Structure 1
């Protein structure tokens, strides 16, 4: 990046927000809204508010990670992968902390706008989402440092995001919504699996005990496979439940299986950090592609 760009420039903030992670926030809202449309319950305003909330939670969590990982010494010169703004000296720690708070406050305000659509239970969901976004890497018991990051992603970027988005439009949560949440949650979790697989050595030195650090690379590889299997199982359950026909199920499952096998082979054959960084991008794109395909099937 050009040296003429000042600290805290727009370019630095865009980089700190980590745009490549945003499909994980968009995907659950997309599939839940498509399901609501399929069921004749789609609400544009509620859907857009959910999208705004999800994006703000994702960005806020990214900024929190940038700040807290720096404070805990996890982002060192040995770390591979996309650079972190605070560790690289692009944004001052205190400025990042204020930005994190601002984004989470914005998410809370957007969440208040959803209360007329779903009532006070949404307030609890919103507060829990913000709380977990902070304690993912912050606080006395950071989730990501104790192996709970994968659970956080599966629950909040899968089950909760899909379920809540459908709830504010349909007034309830169907079994189909839960299974779609499992699909998106599993595929989104694999983004974290690849990230943690890449960072095993540096995370171990920083005492960041991810599942990959605690149980090793072989465990992470099987966890990656298991998440893809969960995705195919979810697609099959939804087919058996009548959400889509056999042809649609076959297409969706074939795409999921082929991409799952390709990604697994890439993970096992990766010999350096650049290969894993490429796989990380591929894994994120797969979440977006599957969400888009599912949405098309549901509204067609």
Structure 2
């Protein structure tokens, strides 16, 4: 297996950390930052729903990572030629049954934590939470794995962008507006258009984390039957997708600035030089040696962009 870490040197604890894939945590944290920043701007910030939303998002991310590790190994997608980060199931570092059990424990913990959010947000949050867990499993598992049929990108765009940002805003707004207590539908003012627009920025850069991953793994995925968009349409398509998602992300703060006259929302533009450096790598490289760092940097771009956007919105 081609990885940056020698498997023989890994302890069990280190293997579990690798399986949890901390480099993907920006995808869980960033939408909560932006949703909370917008809630602060609109005067509906509530700390407890915000913190619980963050914990739930991290647990779902970890559960999804365990699911990917387990199901990719079961599907034979992680071969000895893999250029990505170490996978613990395929690498024999942790028994498959243990990884699968950890997956369900992480999702169960997310459901337990989310019980409070369901009480606050009602039926909409119950539906969204269950769909998020189901999608986390179905991304690489089940009879029709989303990631194996080119549906990974829209999955990330929707659940780690649109749903996560608007959901974070919603659970705070519904509490602040006195509508908590299991509402059956979206109370007025709890999902404004601004929350949907703000979510597009997070959705775009979150999707780009997957784009980098799929560009790096294109050749291996093509041989193992994993039909990602990079496999279906080639490097050119994926690179254009990366630029399109990046362009959309930076358009969103500009839309807020123009529509509100509040130019503090342009703070994310401070990350533009960093984004350009990462994009240049994605546009010119295909090897794991170059794209593994680019993947981590895209995650760092996501969280720094989101933090600055949240501050700009709140201020």
Q: Quick check: TM above 0.5?
A: yes
Counterpart in the other structure of 2:217: 199
Match of residue 262, structure 2, among 219, 225, 245? 245
User: In the TM superposition, what is the alpha-carbon distance from 1:255 to its structure 2 partner?
Assistant: 3.1
Instruction: Note if contact 2:88-2:94 (Cα within 8 Å) is conserved in structure 1.
Output: yes
**TM-score normalized by the length of structure 1:** 0.94
Counterpart in the other structure of 2:183: none
Match of residue 241, structure 2, among 223, 232, 235? 223
Instruction: Note if contact 2:213-2:295 (Cα within 8 Å) is conserved in structure 1.
Output: yes
Counterpart in the other structure of 1:209: 227
Quick one: distance in 1 between partners of 2:40 and 2:88? 40
Question: Deviations along 1:224-275, whole A, 9 cap, x unmatched?
Answer: 0000111122122222221x623x344433533x334322211122253211
Moved over 4 A (4+): 1-6
Counterpart in the other structure of 2:177: none
Aligned: 1:47 with 2:50:
yes
Aligned: 1:111 with 2:128:
no
Superposed, 1:22-171 pairs within 5 Å as: 22-171=25-174
Instruction: Note if contact 1:163-1:173 (Cα within 8 Å) is conserved in structure 2.
Output: yes
Aligned: 1:190 with 2:205:
no
Quick one: distance in 1 between partners of 2:30 and 2:9? 36
User: In the TM superposition, what is the alpha-carbon distance from 1:173 to its structure 2 partner?
Assistant: 0.9
Instruction: Note if contact 1:225-1:260 (Cα within 8 Å) is conserved in structure 2.
Output: no
Match of residue 281, structure 1, among 296, 306, 310? 296
Quick one: distance in 1 between partners of 2:305 and 2:41? 17
Unaligned runs of 5+ in 2: 1-5, 175-189
SS in structure 2 at match of 1:241: helix
Quick one: distance in 1 between partners of 2:202 and 2:280? 21
User: In the TM superposition, what is the alpha-carbon distance from 1:35 to its structure 2 partner?
Assistant: 1.1
Aligned: 1:15 with 2:18:
yes
Counterpart in the other structure of 2:282: 267
**TM-score normalized by the length of structure 2:** 0.90
Counterpart in the other structure of 2:181: none
Counterpart in the other structure of 1:294: 309
SS in structure 1 at match of 2:44: coil
Unaligned runs of 5+ in 1: none
Aligned: 1:255 with 2:245:
no
Quick one: distance in 2 between partners of 1:205 and 1:2? 24
